[in-house]
Chains A and B, each alone.
Chain A
Amino acid sequence: MATTLERTIEHRQQTWPAALLASQTFWVLIAVIFACIFLSFATDSFATAKNLYNITRNVTFVAIIALGMTLVIITGGIDLSVGSVLCLCSMVLAVVMHAGYSIEVGIAASIGTALLIGAFNGVMIAYLGFPPFVITLGMLSIARSLAMVASNNTVVFQFGPDHDKLLALGGGAWFFGIANPVLYMIALALLTGFVLRWTKFGRYVFAIGGNEQAATLTGVPVRRIKVAVYMISALAAGIAGIIQTGWLGAVTTNIGAGMELQVIAAAVIGGANLAGGVGTASGALIGAALIEVIRNSLGLLGINAFWQGTFIGGATVLAVLFDRVRNFRQSE
């Protein structure tokens, strides 16, 4: 009796290969790899250095924001304002630098704006009980409008004395020819993964998504964590905005329009569950990669760009369908 109890408690129900095979992220990764292999053979232009450089760089903006979004989604929330926040932060950076301030001041102002917006969203949601959907939908509208006000709806393409520094920050490749944005993305993904797995904060983010009531009863500072999560989401959008500004070399008031949906799709394809409690940093990256590979390949295969939405939407549904099928099997 004692030995069977011992054995039961020590027994691991799932070994790591089994856990890997059961994860949605893993299968999406396989899909990405297969798509890449297929495209390398099917087209001449896919596996070229230039195209790979473009793909990896294009992935980053969605992926960086998806990292922040993943945290929000794990707590069971949603942040619809990220596209507009990206635009506003880019615009704040552009306007401040255009006015003759240094890049440091511009970035500080931009990040300050992001944190302020995130804090506003978070406080409204955590302390005043607004549904995340409503408050961030409002912010989607407000932030873009503020970007128009800040720039008088013009295109900013001159960034004052530190113009070249900004362009190098976003457009350069300082390390083995890898585009800078990719390096930022990898660093931020590692950081997010570390926080989720190894810190109390990460544990609490999952706990809130799993059972908010339970988290409160066991002394988890639920409200503070929620505010922090929305601040991180806005911060991710701000960082993506800064990098994108450096890469594009110009800011218009329509950048990031509709981006929130791509970001949410990336997180969901990567395995985040909109009901809360589930999500990973690697999933956000892989989801973003799948979307970009689909977009890129349609172009290379000569398929009309109008089909893009169909394929990305289909991939989203398919990824979640896989998860549903697995759940059905488990419940039987």
Chain B
Amino acid sequence: MAVLELANISKHFGAIQAVSDVSLSLEAGQVVGLMGDNGAGKSTLVKMIAGNFRPSEGTMRLDGAELVLHRPVEARKYGIEIVYQDLALCNNLTAAANVFLGRELRRGLGPLRILDHKRMYKRAGEIFRELKSETRPRDLVKQMSGGQRQAVAIARTMLSEAKIVLMDEPTAAISVRQVAEVLNLIRELRDRGIGVILISHRMPDVFDVADRVIVMRRGRKVADKPIASSSPEEVTGLITGAIEQV
């Protein structure tokens, strides 16, 4: 069953049509690679799912129920987690503090509740262990490698029972070894039954980790097929427009 369904979604900003008539569905435990050139509408589409924009037309359904989001913070409530391109981490805080930022664990009563550092370190450690990432909860993020930083950003999505994780260019600007780490993290998410939408410009990453590929061009969906029945050449053709539609 599809966890997320988009039906005839369009978005225009004034006279500019950013996304037109896109329908897609995402299954639980599936990784979908969302590809397209700059300005193809990928980010706009994802931002609608994340609650940054509201669609001009069309409906979104989460587990069959209609989904209307007014603010990004609401998306989290519904189990939609976002890993931002620049990772949105605070360098001066520890890994655990970053994981729990905005939803700190506290103990005590009423107005006297204080941060429960111990429990946050412990839980963050458990998540890193599940992700099989060598990341220490007490380390400051500024001392971390790109792969560890990704692990912190992804660990955030595992605090609550996320249904969908949206990732915007998670493998841009990191080293080859770290890319492999991040792809492993994505597989961990998939194995936990989470649906992942992966925006990426990097063809090898998408073909390595995704189950399906969706290609957008000029706001339209021009392809949506299993990765096994596609090829990098075909996707390149679709992105540039050499191949009209499949």
Whether B110 sits at the interface, judged by CB under 8 Å, is no
With A11-B136, A215-B101 known as contacts, the answer to whether A209 contacts B92 (CB < 8 A) is yes
The interface bits of chain A over 185-229 (1 if a CB of B lies within 8 angstroms of the residue's CB, else 0) are: 000000000000111100100110111011101111000000000
Per the bound structure, the CA–CA distance linking A210 and B174 in Å amounts to: 21
A8: chain B residues at CB < 8 Å are: 134, 136
Per the bound structure, the CA–CA distance linking A278 and B128 in Å amounts to: 26
A211 touches B125 (CB 8 A): no
Nearest opposing residue in chain B for A8, CB measure: B134
Per the bound structure, the CA–CA distance linking A214 and B72 in Å amounts to: 13
Per the bound structure, the CA–CA distance linking A164 and B86 in Å amounts to: 60
Interface of B is mostly: loop
A200 touches B115 (CB 8 A): yes
Q: How far is the CB of B18 from chain A (nearest CB, A)?
A: 21
With A5-B134, A203-B97 known as contacts, the answer to whether A210 contacts B115 (CB < 8 A) is no
Q: Which of B72, B90, B132 contacts A207 (CB 8 A)?
A: B90
B132: chain A residues at CB < 8 Å are: 5
B89: chain A residues at CB < 8 Å are: 211, 214
A329: chain B residues at CB < 8 Å are: none
B136 touches A203 (CB 8 A): no
Q: Which of A10, A197, A199, A210 contacts B90 (CB 8 A)?
A: A210
B128 touches A210 (CB 8 A): no
Q: How far is the CB of B50 from chain A (nearest CB, A)?
A: 10
Nearest opposing residue in chain B for A7, CB measure: B134
A219 touches B102 (CB 8 A): yes
- By the criterion of a CB under 8 Å from any partner CB, how many residues of chain A are at the interface? 28
The interface bits of chain B over 196-232 (1 if a CB of A lies within 8 angstroms of the residue's CB, else 0) are: 0000000000000000000000000000000000000
Whether A50 sits at the interface, judged by CB under 8 Å, is no
A5 touches B129 (CB 8 A): yes
B87: chain A residues at CB < 8 Å are: 214
Interface of A is mostly: helix
Q: How far is the CB of B173 from chain A (nearest CB, A)?
A: 17
Whether B138 sits at the interface, judged by CB under 8 Å, is yes
Per the bound structure, the CA–CA distance linking A14 and B137 in Å amounts to: 12
Per the bound structure, the CA–CA distance linking A203 and B114 in Å amounts to: 11
Q: How large is the interface on B (under 10, 10 to 19, 20 to 34, 35 or more residues)?
A: 20 to 34
Q: How far is the CB of A201 from chain B (nearest CB, A)?
A: 10
The interface bits of chain A over 275-298 (1 if a CB of B lies within 8 angstroms of the residue's CB, else 0) are: 001100000000000000000000
A200 touches B137 (CB 8 A): no
Whether A9 sits at the interface, judged by CB under 8 Å, is yes
B91 touches A217 (CB 8 A): no
Q: How far is the CB of B21 from chain A (nearest CB, A)?
A: 29
Whether B2 sits at the interface, judged by CB under 8 Å, is no
Whether B44 sits at the interface, judged by CB under 8 Å, is no
Whether B73 sits at the interface, judged by CB under 8 Å, is yes
B92 touches A278 (CB 8 A): yes
Per the bound structure, the CA–CA distance linking A14 and B138 in Å amounts to: 9
Per the bound structure, the CA–CA distance linking A200 and B129 in Å amounts to: 26
Per the bound structure, the CA–CA distance linking A207 and B102 in Å amounts to: 10
Chain B residues 60 to 98 lying within 8 A of chain A, measured CB to CB, are: 72-73, 76, 82, 84, 86-93, 97
A277 touches B91 (CB 8 A): yes
Whether B104 sits at the interface, judged by CB under 8 Å, is yes
A6: chain B residues at CB < 8 Å are: 129
B101 touches A207 (CB 8 A): yes
Chain B residues 29 to 55 lying within 8 A of chain A, measured CB to CB, are: none
A211 touches B90 (CB 8 A): yes
A198 touches B84 (CB 8 A): no
A277: chain B residues at CB < 8 Å are: 90-92
A209: chain B residues at CB < 8 Å are: 92
Q: Which interface residue of B86, B90, B103, B137 has the most chain A CB atoms within 10 A?
A: B90
The interface bits of chain B over 121-136 (1 if a CB of A lies within 8 angstroms of the residue's CB, else 0) are: 0000100110010111
With A6-B129, A207-B93, A277-B91 known as contacts, the answer to whether A12 contacts B101 (CB < 8 A) is no
Per the bound structure, the CA–CA distance linking A197 and B97 in Å amounts to: 12
B136 touches A12 (CB 8 A): yes
With A203-B97, A218-B101, A219-B102 known as contacts, the answer to whether A9 contacts B129 (CB < 8 A) is yes
Whether A152 sits at the interface, judged by CB under 8 Å, is no
The 3 closest A-B pairs by CB, nearest first: A210-B90, A277-B92, A214-B88
Instruction: Spell out B's residues near A (CB within 8 Å).
Output: 72-73, 76, 82, 84, 86-93, 97, 101-104, 106, 114-115, 125, 128-129, 132, 134-139, 143, 156
List 16 A–B pairs whose Cβ atoms lie within 8 Å, in order of A's numbering: A9-B135, A10-B136, A12-B136, A13-B136, A13-B138, A13-B139, A13-B143, A200-B106, A209-B92, A210-B90, A211-B88, A211-B90, A213-B88, A214-B88, A215-B101, A219-B102
Given contact pairs A199-B115, A215-B90, enumerate 8 new A-B contacts (beta carbons under 8 Å): A5-B132, A9-B128, A13-B143, A200-B115, A206-B97, A214-B87, A215-B101, A218-B101
Instruction: Spell out A's residues near B (CB within 8 Å).
Output: 5-6, 8-14, 197-200, 203, 206-207, 209-211, 213-215, 217-220, 277-278
